[in-house]
Structure formats: C-alpha cells, structure tokens
Amino acid sequence: MQAAVEYFAERGVGDHSLRAIAEGLGTSHRMLIYHFGSREGLLVQVCEAVEAGQRDALATLAADADADPRAVVRQFWSAVSAAARRYGPLFFELSAHAMQGRSHASGLSETAVEPWVELLARICERAGVPPERARVQARLGLGVARGLLHDALITGDAAGADAAMDLFVDLVLPGSQGAHPMRFAS
C-alpha cells in the first residue's frame, strides 16, 4: 500500500491504467486486481491509507493526557505541513475527485471530515473549550489547516502558512499567552 501511495504522490492520480500502475509498482496488474479488485479499488485504499495515517499521527500526539493541546496542534502542524509537500497534491486531487462524485473517492465523504472533527474536538475540550463549542472549533481548525496547506502548496510560502497557523492556535485555544479565545455563537 505504501508503494502505491508513493506512486500516486509522485505522479498524481491522473488516468494511469492499472497496467501502468502495476509496472510502476513492480508487480502485475493481475496482483492489483486480486488485492484491490480494480484501479478504483486501489484508489479507495490509497485514500483511506493517507487519511488514516495522518489521523493516527495526531491521535498518537494527543494520547499524552499531560501534553499541552496547543503544543500538540503545533507539533502536528509541523509534521503534516512537512508531509504535505509530498502528499498534499495527492490529497487535494483525490478531494477534487470526491467533490466530482467519482466512485473511487467516495469514501472521503466519510473519512475526510467527521473523524477529524471528533479527534480535534477532544483536543479542543482538553484545552478548555466548552463541549458545546468544541466541534465547531474543531471543524474551523480543520478548514483553516487545509486552507493553509493548500495556500502553502500553491504559493510555496510555507513560512507564511506556519505563521498563520501559529496565530490561529493562539486565537482559538484557551490559555494561550495574551490571546483571547474566539467565541462562536451557539
């Protein structure tokens, strides 16, 4: 699976045939059909692997109950923004496919938002955000992070995206030095 993720990160999803993908992975198209059923089945698994890997990384960072939530978010941002240089275009390409209703990316409707919101809401609550606001702030944080990743990939201004994320964390997570957490209407 990791070889397939790397293949698509390098070349994009495009219209590569299953035979071309198999050749690039050093296997046969029959093996890919056996394991994934089709090109679309392989792409579904690639989508799930990329999303699950990032969520697992955040969950691992957040598992330490004594960790400062702001530090967890900043550490995760550092890791995910570095990884986005390689895997971000693949994520955004597959996201566009989901928006266009392509079958191989339909699973993103279930994995690209809600599992992230759940995980991020728990981090927000640990930071002192009231539970009734945690999900809204989590969704906002997810949208901001993805927007900043998109910005950095298009402009190449990773430092600008990093500075914006740092400010965002200070604005939305209680307890930040000198910052007042944003409040959202219920």
pLDDT of the residue at 181: 47
Check residue 27 and give its pLDDT: 94
Q: Which tens digits make up the pLDDT trace of 92-148?
A: 988 898 899 988 788 888 888 999 999 999 989 988 899 999 999 999 999 999 999
**Helical spans, DSSP H, in the chain:** 2-11, 18-25, 29-36, 39-62, 69-99, 108-111, 114-126, 131-155, 158-172
Residue 175 pLDDT level (bands cut at 50, 70, 90) = low
pLDDT value at position 121?
94
CA-based torsion, 165, 80, 140, 176: positive or negative: negative
d(CA 92, CA 81) in angstroms, rounded, equals 14
User: Domain extents for the chain?
Assistant: 48-172
Quick one: tokens of 112?
A: 């690209």
pLDDT digits 0-9 by tens, 75-91: 999 998 998 888 888 88
Domain 48-172 sits in CATH at 1.10.357
